[in-house]
Chain A
Amino acid sequence: SQQGEEDPQALSIQEGENATMNCSYKTSINNLQWYRQNSGRGLVHLILIRSNEREKHSGRLRVTLDTSKKSSSLLITASRAADTASYFCATDENNYGQNFVFGPGTRLSVLP
């Protein structure tokens, strides 16, 4: 089964609104990463948050991590049509990044 599970599977919002995606995992981790994948393209790394961190910001992105609940959230503020993509979380399953397990992703559609 997948280590990271994103929720919701699909999200459709209007431009300018905020989008929140969640990720849950099962085992302890060293870090959790979020990636974006535009249709037909490779993945792009967005942000990495370590197990001893609770929140990180990068531009319009805010990631939180709650290790007690084994969950993370990705918030995109003031969304744009260009944010339309699939978003994946990846966890390292406490093996120091030797391999990462990706969830099925959240497909975000930002409508103009």
Chain B
Amino acid sequence: GAGVSQSPSNKVTEKGKDVELRCDPISGHTALYWYRQSLGQGLEFLIYFQGNSAPDKSGLPSDRFSAERTGGSVSTLTIQRTQQEDSAVYLCASSLALSVNSRRSYNEQFFGPGTRLTVL
């Protein structure tokens, strides 16, 4: 079946412009994550959606970053007034629903190919 898809694959923008990054998770996956990976670095958690619960926004680096998840499926990460330090690969991942007391392997994350954002 189809995996996680992201668009665009590459985005070049000028400093100060707004950008929107899109993520289509695997059908049926209720958990969705956004990460950022700077060149040569590990992944930095940004935001997490789980079903209809309020998202965990604890990783968003500033109020210029926001994300939505409409209808429990597609998610959009928006960066307003982009800065050069926002340049990175933005990765989206999805996983099956969490069950806190379950011992199943429920939280393997499936990653999309990422969007490479370059802010000039």
| A residues with CB within 8 A of B | 2, 4, 31, 33, 35, 41-45, 48, 50, 88, 90, 92, 96-105
Contact = CB atoms under 8 A, between A and B. Distances in A.
Overall SS of chain B's interface = loop
A79 to B, nearest CB: 22
Contacts of B91: 42-43
Given A48-B108, A103-B42, A104-B40, 11 more contacts: A4-B42, A35-B111, A43-B111, A45-B108, A45-B109, A97-B106, A99-B59, A102-B35, A102-B42, A102-B44, A104-B42
B25 interface: no
B109 A100 contact: yes
Interface in B38-75: 40-45, 48, 50, 56, 58-59
B42 A88 contact: yes
B58 A99 contact: yes
Contacts of A105: 42
Contacts, number: 61
A97 B98 contact: yes
Most chain A CB neighbours (cut-off 10 Å) among B50, B56, B91, B108 = B108
B56 A98 contact: yes
Contacts of B100: 96
Contact of B107 (A2, A97, A101): A97
Across the A-B interface, give the 9 residue pairs with the lowest CB-CB distance, nearest first: A102-B43, A97-B107, A104-B42, A42-B111, A43-B111, A102-B42, A42-B113, A99-B45, A45-B108
A67 B58 CA distance: 26
Contacts of A96: 98, 100
Nearest to A33: B108
Nearest to B92: A42
Interface string B79-120: 000000000000101010010100101111111111000000
B42 A99 contact: no
Contacts of A41: 113
A99 B98 CA distance: 11
Most chain A CB neighbours (cut-off 10 Å) among B4, B45, B110 = B45
A42 B91 CA distance: 7
B36 to A, nearest CB: 11
